[in-house]
Structure 1
């Protein structure tokens, strides 16, 4: 039986002077309480109570190479020995920009930033400057960072759901404290609904600057686009003079070297990338066409940030991308094969225990949920899941030596092995037997 006394003590200490007791509000949802790490290597993490876990949380996505990857660590240390950041330019910026343009199909130029939220803010600004319009179309269940201008309420957030679709929708803020008019320019639509999309874009094209979409709804069920849906967004935005932004902060360098837009054969005007790009070091970017990126060249759009493109971050990204590119991206195939095996195994165990559930898997990402439906392919169905039951399952898995995100989203890294998958399935079997 796992006990977490030292984590519990640390959490109580943290709450004295650290607001919320955690550095990011999302981490407070872990049960029985937020866990404290001591060290990690590869696919395994050890907490301060000396328990070791197979890690599928992976720092909420960035650790595509696993923990403390030797080559990445050496690259970071080598960069730091030459200075952390300069406030001047350095060769690493050029190397990384060149590499991103090489591997990302939509990229003519790139701009660096520090987080996914910042990258989205820049992409929206570029779209508005390019079109001279202000409205932004986004979709229910998608996440584009926590800035006031795009952060909307999720079901169960306690702030009220957004009501209605299209022109009549009321858009609720994602948190208390957002400006009362911060979301006035947001048009919130259901995703994967081509009729509503086409109707809205055609009727309001004169005021819509951009459509922003995740290519796969990783946070909300790992839902994939219907055949032709992303292509329809591309067609309509081209036709109507609207910028198409794909938010690849999660999927970039996780669904493939060219991201989801490379995997699906879609060419948006802009993509935002982050998380896996730096392998665990904070860095993000906007990549896109010359037509939009030239707005930064001419200073029509100011792009600011003290630590943008710093030496440590660019070194981390260069090493991560080059590692993933080895042997024609063989790591992506291997990660996907492991998750196909894991997904099939979990489905079999759900059936064995007579527990209704669904596992949606796309490449090296999967979402597991408890739900009395044969499949989950849309956001409305996803919202019928038993989120509390899954949180309990994640807590049981913790005591079985497997670290999971409490919302059902699983990540895998290049450090995971078939042995890890086998051990995980044994843990799932035991946890489901307790859940019954």
Structure 2
């Protein structure tokens, strides 16, 4: 199959005259012409040239219920005619906060933001204000937003990253202030000995340890058995707050996020993406004792669009569905995810292609590798990422859209027919590769 991209090409040429790089987010860059979507519904995208795609990007994860779920769209439309922005409180934000506190194990208090980067920034400021300490430990390969203090060692070049057991903070972009690295310590993921050693070396200095509880920005890498339990124990021993970045995993794996799925309750958590079905809402939640440092005014937190009425309307509708229909929603996500994962494995085996397919199901990763497991960023970096990029292009030509680095998001709207068509496209793509 060869896609027609005449209109898309024209739009991209025009966009490059006005948009820096021709796109509004670096995550949308790709070789050739970017995807120009006309509309989306359920499990499908239609581009401006009329090409149709089975979509496993889902807006980078938010469309857990598929694109344009009717109840969410109706809630957004109803609120839009009542008011777009109030700069005042409203009843829906209280209802959504109450539901979050009922659904999420770590949530005793809530503050809303618009995007994940803001929520992470608020969490780390709060951790510093609460503990009186300045330093934060993050894990290599974990992404916590694009702001300067945390955009380090996400996918660093290995020749700059330092030893595997003691990585160096590597900035993610030109223009970052060098001094931010002074307060940031980087550890390898799934290495308890390195973590113990690092936390001992910085005893009394660490305000927070922040982690994606399942690493989804570098593969889909679960914590090894007992790992997060020991991370939590070490944080308590050192008087350090444990912060879960659940921007991706939140509401995707369970109604209470990865913390419910894994059985680990952090001190603070941040949520976004799937919590509002595609609208821009994020949340910082956590223990009342910690969160009340905001309410007393000790730690500043503000924003014109915090608890934006239209976004909150989407969140209320989405969370109501996830809460009330949890068995149907999560049963579907896990079963269809497992079905697609197995289909991709079988297709690769038939083609004689070394492929690892790993992850919980509602989100998972494909890796071109002979390895039996990927445990951390260094393992991920050793996989054939150039081949994964070629797979992405070949699948797009065959009407399947996945995250270019090999990540797949499932929705409740993906059907068995979608999965069969995806496996057929995958098999065809492998043949030409």
Contact 2:222 / 2:359 at 8 angstroms: preserved in 1?
no
Deviations 1:266-304 (A, max 9, x none): 110000100111110000011100111001110101101
> 2:32 — aligned with what?
32
> 1:7 — aligned with what?
8
Is 1:97 matched up with 2:85? no
Shift, 1:325, TM fit: 2.0
Distance in 2 (alpha carbons) for counterparts of 1:59 and 1:275: 8
Residue 211 of structure 1, aligned match among 197, 209, 230: 209
Distance in 1 (alpha carbons) for counterparts of 2:14 and 2:326: 48
Q: Kindly tell me: are residues 224 and 9 of structure 1, through their superposed partners in 2, closer, same or farther at Cα, counting changes over 3 Å?
A: same
Shift, 1:160, TM fit: 6.5
Distance in 2 (alpha carbons) for counterparts of 1:328 and 1:65: 12
Shift, 1:316, TM fit: 0.5
> 2:392 — aligned with what?
394
Residue 218 of structure 2, aligned match among 217, 220, 230: 220
> 1:22 — aligned with what?
23
Distance in 1 (alpha carbons) for counterparts of 2:90 and 2:160: 46
Shift, 1:327, TM fit: 3.3
> 1:62 — aligned with what?
62
Is 1:346 matched up with 2:344? yes
5 Å matches for 1:399-414?
Answer: 399-414=397-412
Is 1:271 matched up with 2:269? yes
Shift, 1:76, TM fit: 0.2
Is 1:136 matched up with 2:133? no
Distance in 1 (alpha carbons) for counterparts of 2:376 and 2:167: 19
5 Å matches for 1:326-341?
Answer: 326-341=324-339
TM-score (normalised: structure 1): 0.96
Contact 1:4 / 1:49 at 8 angstroms: preserved in 2?
yes
Distance in 2 (alpha carbons) for counterparts of 1:49 and 1:156: 36
Contact 2:164 / 2:378 at 8 angstroms: preserved in 1?
no
> 1:164 — aligned with what?
163
Deviations 1:307-342 (A, max 9, x none): 000110111011111112233432112111101011
Is 1:370 matched up with 2:368? yes
Considering only aligned residues, what root-mean-square deviation do their CA atoms show, in Å? 1.4
Shift, 1:125, TM fit: 0.6
How many residue pairs are counted as aligned between the two chains?
A: 432
Is 1:360 matched up with 2:358? yes
Shift, 1:9, TM fit: 1.3
Q: Kindly tell me: are residues 251 and 390 of structure 1, through their superposed partners in 2, closer, same or farther at Cα, counting changes over 3 Å?
A: same
Contact 2:153 / 2:170 at 8 angstroms: preserved in 1?
yes
Deviations 1:194-224 (A, max 9, x none): 1111122123121111100111111212011
Contact 2:334 / 2:362 at 8 angstroms: preserved in 1?
yes
Contact 1:340 / 1:361 at 8 angstroms: preserved in 2?
no
Contact 2:128 / 2:207 at 8 angstroms: preserved in 1?
yes
> 1:74 — aligned with what?
74
Contact 2:341 / 2:361 at 8 angstroms: preserved in 1?
no
Distance in 2 (alpha carbons) for counterparts of 1:305 and 1:338: 39
Shift, 1:31, TM fit: 3.6
TM-score (normalised: structure 2): 0.97
Contact 1:96 / 1:314 at 8 angstroms: preserved in 2?
yes
State the secondary structure of the residue aligned to 1:391. Answer: helix
Shift, 1:46, TM fit: 0.3
Q: Which runs of 5+ in 2 are unaligned?
A: none
Deviations 1:134-167 (A, max 9, x none): 110000100000110010143366x96432367x
Contact 2:120 / 2:145 at 8 angstroms: preserved in 1?
yes
Distance in 1 (alpha carbons) for counterparts of 2:103 and 2:154: 33
Shift, 1:236, TM fit: 1.0
**Runs of 4 or more above 4 Å deviation:** none
